[in-house]
């Protein structure tokens, strides 16, 4: 589950909920890439597959998205909160046998955006990574950062998410409203600021604050849609700015699968709640409280070995 709960809160109606999933191919049609029975990660949207963006594997940035309902004559089938889904084969990534389905599900919106941000920024072990906002995407950034050995400083207000960020390995979780936030980050980074940052909070006031927390000639990625930046500060500090939406499975498929393997204990802690599809309203209500990490839905009910709901973040061993 991702941001669909916001539509639930607003009272809007949709028969096509969801954009991330893992499932089994039940009809491979004429595909030469996949076979019936393959377990696959579902990439969001429906890029055309032939434009320059798609040919580079950047399907999320395609400006000529396909209308699968028109093409197939179906009245439904493009939402992932469902038993069945229509998808072009080039937007499905096969899951290796040694990776659990639940872990594979984290390759979409949990790890994907910050994976791309860190790849583009070239974040390395030992560098300091600032993560602004600890919703599911921000918590995924903490997981990505810690898995490669980066030092992570997080900004978050919500007590549950702040505690979960700590359990996932954030060295410190700071209040972004603090008047001395710049001084706090500088004190933690030898007086210079973080080497790289990822803004995920979607708070319109966050971008200029996060920019100031990055060192001169640092790097900053936005996995968000709100706010503005002062150009003179970007130029003055020489900061590199990246807009990151999703990950390129054509180019980084093997690397992402390895990230899932390496991050297994952290992923188990990141996935805090599981619901049957029939209980989706309860899942939405939980997400609205903010007291959760990543939430999973199961069309046929929560598997018995996964039928545990956590009310508090658990220690990661």
Say if residue 125 is in the same domain as residue 234: yes
CATH (domain of 19)? 3.90.180.10
Which of 165, 235, 232 lies closest to 198, judged by CA?
165
Per-residue model confidence as pLDDT tens digits over 79-90: 999 999 999 999
Report the candidate in 268, 5, 3, 9 with the shortest Cα–Cα distance to residue 143.
268
Closest to 162 (Cα-Cα) out of 193, 183, 138, 146: 138
Q: Are residues 132 and 81 in the same domain?
A: no
Cβ–Cβ < 8 Å for 160, 313: yes
Is residue 171 located within the same domain as residue 214? yes
- At 307, is the pLDDT very low, low, confident or very high (cuts 50, 70, 90)? low
Q: What is the mean pLDDT of residues 271-280?
A: 97
Q: Are residues 228 and 174 in the same domain?
A: yes
Residues 185 and 76 in one domain: no
Instruction: Identify which of 21, 316, 263, 294 has the alpha carbon closest to the alpha carbon of residue 139.
Output: 294
Closest of 122, 164, 121, 115 to residue 141, by C-alpha: 115
Instruction: Looking at the structure, tell me whether residues 142 and 229 fall in a common domain.
Output: yes
- CATH number for position 221: 3.40.50.720
Q: Is 313 among the domain residues? A: no
Tell me: pLDDT of 187 over 50. Answer: yes
Do 164 and 237 fall into the same domain? yes
Same domain flag for 79 and 26: yes
pLDDT attached to residue 315: 46
Identify the domain containing residue 214 by its residue range. 112-243
Residue from 98, 94, 107, 105 nearest 37 by CA: 94
Residues 127 and 74 in one domain: no
Residue 316 pLDDT? 42
Q: Mean pLDDT in the chain?
A: 95
Is residue 171 domain-shared with residue 22, that is, in the same domain?
no
In a domain, 312, yes or no: no
> Is residue 314 a part of any domain in this protein?
no
Number of domains in the chain: 2
Residue 317 pLDDT level (bands cut at 50, 70, 90):
very low
> Which pLDDT belongs to residue 308?
57
**315 in any annotated domain:** no
pLDDT above 70: residue 241: yes
Per-residue confidence (pLDDT) for residue 310, from 0 to 100 = 52
Looking at residue 304, its pLDDT comes to: 82
Q: Say if residue 117 is in the same domain as residue 206.
A: yes
Asked, for residue 41, whether it belongs to a domain, the answer is yes
Per-residue confidence (pLDDT) for residue 55, from 0 to 100 = 97
At residue 305, the pLDDT reads 77
pLDDT tens per residue, range 34-55: 999 999 999 999 999 999 999 9
């Amino acid at each position: 589950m991702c941001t669909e709960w916001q539509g639930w809160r607003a009272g809007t109606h949709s028969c096509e909920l969801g954009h991330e999933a893992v499932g089994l191919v039940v009809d491979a049609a004429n595909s030469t890439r996949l076979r019936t029975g393959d377990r696959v990660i579902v990439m969001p949207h429906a890029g055309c597959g032939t434009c320059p963006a798609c040919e580079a594997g950047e399907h999320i940035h395609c400006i000529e998205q396909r209308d699968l309902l028109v093409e197939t004559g179906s009245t439904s089938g493009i939402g992932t909160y469902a038993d069945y889904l229509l998808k072009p084969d080039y937007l499905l990534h096969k899951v290796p046998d040694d990776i659990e389905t639940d872990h594979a599900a984290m390759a979409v919106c949990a790890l994907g955006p910050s994976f791309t941000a860190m790849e583009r920024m070239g974040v390395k072990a030992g560098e300091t990574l600032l993560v602004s906002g600890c919703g599911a995407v921000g918590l995924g950034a903490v997981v990505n950062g810690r898995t490669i050995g980066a030092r992570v400083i997080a900004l978050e207000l919500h007590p549950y998410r702040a505690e979960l960020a700590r359990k996932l390995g954030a060295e410190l979780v700071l209040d972004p409203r603090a008047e001395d936030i710049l001084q706090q980050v500088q004190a933690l980074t030898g007086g210079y600021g973080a080497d790289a940052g990822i803004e995920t909070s979607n708070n319109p006031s966050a971008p200029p604050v996060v920019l100031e927390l990055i060192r001169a000639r640092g790097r900053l990625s936005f996995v968000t849609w709100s706010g503005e930046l002062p150009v003179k500060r970007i130029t003055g500090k020489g900061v590199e700015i990246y807009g990151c939406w999703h990950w390129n499975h054509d180019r980084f498929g093997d690397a992402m699968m390895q990230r899932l393997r390496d991050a297994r204990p952290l992923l188990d802690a990141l996935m805090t709640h599981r619901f049957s599809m029939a209980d989706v309203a309860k899942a939405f209500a939980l997400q609205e409280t903010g007291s959760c990490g990543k939430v999973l839905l199961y069309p046929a009910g929560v598997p018995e070995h996964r039928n545990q709901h956590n009310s508090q973040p658990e220690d990661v061993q």
